[in-house]
């Protein structure tokens, strides 16, 4: 069975005026289907307001859908009684690194999750050690989070989730507030977790470069899943992506423009490496 | 200037003071604060000074780091000194126009400066050598009996530790907003008090909005990490007394007794 299985999820935000009367409804999720297998790396793309963060918050029951079904790790997420089991198996990392670190010392923050789960002290120490190791932050264990860079803080937040030993991590735009270096740091850390510890990864982002490595990509627009497939399938449809106000990776865009200008390049080029190779073989063919 | 506040900041170092149980340190600070207002002669002052200097020395926190915290109370210090100096009745020492400085006033003012300074130094030493988590753990455990009276001890201590964690972040943010407003021509310096207070509004409103947003985010992040109050929670660093804590209790007792005895010396 799939790790996450969503069918026809629907969620609405109710807008109210100052007296509390309903002004209007904003459909954030509109019959969304989602399938994620254990150990997969799934990316969810979409511009601001497409509903991708709302979807993320459903996956560990920070929000509950009004209609539809959602199964996470074999448990019904529409049943409020499963909330702690689901949050234990599906961790979440948020956008702002400062606003998700609870403690004033790195290792104590990483311990926050296991402490909440009631893990015995000795085991907490082991988990903190392991999870700090897995994101390469052991050296900073007794530092104050305020003195770390954005990328480091985000890695601490990831370690904090890892210490709860979840089967899946949902990352809600984890790199949106980071500089390019921090972005690379964080992505390398989570991809290593996916490869080595077989943690299921759900990455929500609007940076196209980040999803090239994903196994599967979902594209969302105004609450609906409008495209799904492998990165190659998705990025070969440049025109459609533009319609949803999404960029494509620069290499893909260049290949697309070159092809439009009459060059014979294959569709769905994702990286500079692939583009360079395609161009070289073109040149040799002449 | 605003970044100089050291209260609530932890200074990582490896010293006996850092390793002491937070309950011991809380007790020590309580005794120390009482002792500050108990001594009334030079002998007592010397005892308190030696005590403070000794602890600072052992704590390995650089003295310059601590003094920075004093800037925050400079205004209070000056005001209370002035009041003491001019408003204490007694034998006139100096007279400037209609203002009389009495011998008692000068003495009281001197002691007041020392008391306030020592108060800040001593209590900032607590937060400098104790991580906020330890501190609130200590309070939670020390105040546990109040839980029987339905006082939400865990919740209150959790709020305190979060507040301490966000102090530096909000200070940094204030700095940032201030610079942004200055860059757009805001003026925080000139004018009378009312005008100054009014000019703070464009600083305070964005700060409050952002603080609320942060609180919202943090609450969500805590929930996502399975936080559900103090029930069933374990600790990474549970508090337990060691021999050094017993020794520390003895030292505190001896110090307090000493200060009490020195009161008798005239």
The ipTM is 0.85
Across the interface, whether the CB atoms of B225 and A164 are under 8 A apart is answered yes
The answer to whether the CB of A89 falls within 8 A of the CB of A164 is no
B2 contacts B171 by C-beta, under 8 angstroms: yes
Q: Which residues contact A150 (CB under 8 A, 6 or more apart)?
A: A97, A177, A178, A179, A182
Interface test with A, best of B159, B221, B229, B231 (most A CBs within 10 A): B221
Alpha carbons A68 and A66: distance in angstroms, whole number: 7
Angle between helices B74-87 and B103-129 (to 10 degrees): 160
Helix axes of B132-142 and B22-36: crossing angle, nearest 10 degrees: 80
Q: Which residues of chain A have pLDDT under 50?
A: none
Give the model's pLDDT for residue A130: 92
- Nearest 5°: the CA angle A273, A204, A183 is 55
For residue A69, give the 3-state DSSP assignment.
Answer: strand
Q: Which H helix or E strand runs over B248? A: helix B243-264
d(CA B194, CA A199): 58
Best B5, B224, B228, B235 member to test A by mutation, with max A CBs in 10 Å, is B224
The Cα–Cα gap between A25 and A224 comes to 16
pLDDT of residue A1: 67
What the block records as the tokens of A157 is 């937040």
Whole-number Cα distances in Å, A283 to A39, A244, A271, A279, B87: 40, 34, 19, 6, 94
CB neighbour class for B194 (10 Å; exposed up to 12, middle 13-18, buried from 19):
exposed
pLDDT at A132: 93
What is the predicted pLDDT for the residue at B5? Answer: 53
- Whether A128 and chain B come into contact, CB under 8 Å, resolves to yes
Sequence-distant (6+) residues with CB within 8 A of B264 are none
Label residue B7 by pLDDT band (50, 70, 90): low
Kindly determine whether residue B165 and residue A142, on different chains, have CB atoms separated by under 8 Å.
no
Place of tokens 């740091």: A185
Q: What is the pLDDT of residues A129-172, one digit of tens each?
A: 999 998 889 999 888 888 899 999 999 999 999 999 999 999 99
Scanning B37-131, the segments in alpha helix (DSSP H) are 42-59, 63-67, 74-87, 103-129
Report d(CA B201, CA B214) in Å as an integer. Answer: 20
Section B213-236 average pLDDT = 89
* The two three-digit tokens of residue A18, written as one number: 């100052």
Q: Which domains are delineated in chain A?
A: 4-246 (3.40.50.300), 249-286 (no CATH)
For range B28-38, the mean pLDDT: 90
Work out the average pLDDT over B50-60.
89
Place of tokens 């409020």: A80
Specify the DSSP class assigned to residue A144: -
Q: Decide if B174 contacts B2 (C-beta within 8 A).
A: yes
Query: Does pLDDT of B1 surpass 60?
Result: no
Cβ contact B236–A101 (<8 Å) = no
Give pLDDT, residue B172: 87
Phi, psi (rounded to 5 degrees) for A35: -130, 125
Residue B217 exposed, middle or buried by CB count within 10 Å (0-12, 13-18, 19+): middle
Two tokens, residue A63: 């929000």
What is d(CA B143, CA A122) in angstroms, rounded to the nearest whole number?
25
Mean residue pLDDT of chain B comes to 84
pLDDT of residue A257: 87
Residues 6+ apart with CB under 8 A from B221: A92, A94, A99, A100, A102, A157
Q: What pLDDT is recorded for position A256?
A: 86
Residues of B in contact with A160 (CB under 8 A): 225
d(CA A145, CA A155): 11
Span B110-159, pLDDT tens digits: 888 888 889 888 888 888 888 777 888 888 888 888 888 888 888 888 88
Nearest CA in chain A to B210: A99
Q: Measuring CA to CA, how many Å separate A63 from each of A56, A151, A249, B224?
A: 9, 27, 32, 11
pLDDT in tens, B182-217: 898 878 777 788 888 888 888 889 999 999 999 999
- C-alpha–C-alpha distance, residues B217 and B212, integer Å: 9
């Amino acid at each position: 069975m799939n790790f996450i299985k969503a069918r026809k999820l629907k969620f609405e935000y109710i807008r109210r005026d100052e007296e509390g009367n309903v002004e209007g409804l904003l459909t954030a999720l509109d019959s969304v289907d989602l399938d994620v297998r254990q150990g997969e790396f799934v990316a969810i793309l979409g511009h601001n307001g497409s509903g991708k963060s709302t979807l993320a918050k459903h996956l560990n029951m920070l929000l509950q859908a009004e209609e539809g079904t959602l199964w996470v790790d074999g448990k019904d997420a529409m049943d409020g009684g499963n909330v702690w089991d689901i949050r234990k198996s599906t961790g979440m990392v948020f956008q702002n690194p400062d606003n998700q670190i609870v403690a004033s010392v790195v290792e104590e923050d990483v311990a926050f999750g296991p402490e909440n789960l009631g893990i015995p002290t000795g085991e907490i120490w082991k988990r903190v050690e392991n999870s700090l190791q897995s994101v390469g932050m052991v050296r900073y264990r007794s530092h104050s989070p305020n003195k770390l860079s954005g990328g480091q803080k985000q890695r601490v937040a990831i370690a904090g989730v890892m210490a709860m030993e979840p089967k899946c991590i949902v990352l809600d735009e984890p790199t949106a507030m980071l500089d390019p270096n921090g972005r690379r740091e964080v992505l390398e850390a989570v991809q290593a977790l996916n490869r080595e510890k077989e943690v299921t990864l759900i990455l929500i982002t609007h940076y196209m470069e980040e999803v090239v490595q994903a196994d599967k990509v979902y594209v969302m627009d105004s609450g609906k899943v409008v495209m799904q497939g492998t990165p190659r399938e998705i990025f070969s449809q440049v025109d459609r992506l533009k319609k949803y106000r999404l960029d494509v990776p620069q290499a893909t865009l260049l290949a697309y423009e070159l092809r439009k200008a009459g060059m014979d390049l294959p569709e769905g080029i994702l990286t500079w490496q692939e583009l360079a190779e395609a161009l070289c073989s073109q040149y040799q063919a002449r | 200037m605003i970044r100089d506040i050291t209260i609530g900041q932890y200074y990582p170092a490896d010293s006996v003071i850092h390793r002491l149980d937070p309950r011991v340190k809380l007790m020590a600070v309580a005794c120390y604060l009482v002792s500050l207002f108990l001594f009334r002669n030079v002998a007592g002052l010397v005892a308190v000074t030696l005590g403070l200097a000794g602890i600072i020395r052992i704590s390995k926190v650089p003295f310059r780091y601590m003094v920075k915290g004093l800037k925050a109370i400079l205004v209070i210090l000056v005001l209370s000194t002035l009041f003491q100096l001019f408003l204490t009745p007694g034998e006139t020492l100096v007279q400037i126009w209609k203002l009389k400085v009495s011998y008692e006033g000068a003495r009281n003012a001197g002691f007041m400066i020392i008391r306030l300074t020592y108060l800040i130094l001593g209590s900032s030493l607590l937060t400098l050598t104790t991580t906020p988590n330890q501190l609130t753990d200590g309070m939670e455990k020390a105040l546990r009996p109040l839980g029987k009276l339905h006082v939400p001890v865990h919740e209150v201590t959790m709020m305190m530790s979060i507040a301490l964690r966000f102090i530096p972040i909000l200070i940094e943010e204030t700095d940032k907003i201030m610079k942004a407003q200055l860059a757009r021509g805001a003026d925080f310096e000139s004018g009378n008090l009312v005008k100054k207070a009014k000019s703070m509004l464009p600083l305070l409103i964005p700060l409050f909005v952002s603080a609320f947003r942060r609180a919202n985010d943090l609450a969500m992040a805590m929930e996502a990490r399975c936080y559900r109050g103090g029930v069933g929670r374990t600790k990474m660093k549970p508090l337990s007394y060691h021999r050094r804590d017993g020794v520390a209790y003895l030292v505190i007792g001896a110090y307090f007794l000493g200060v009490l005895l020195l009161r008798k010396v005239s």
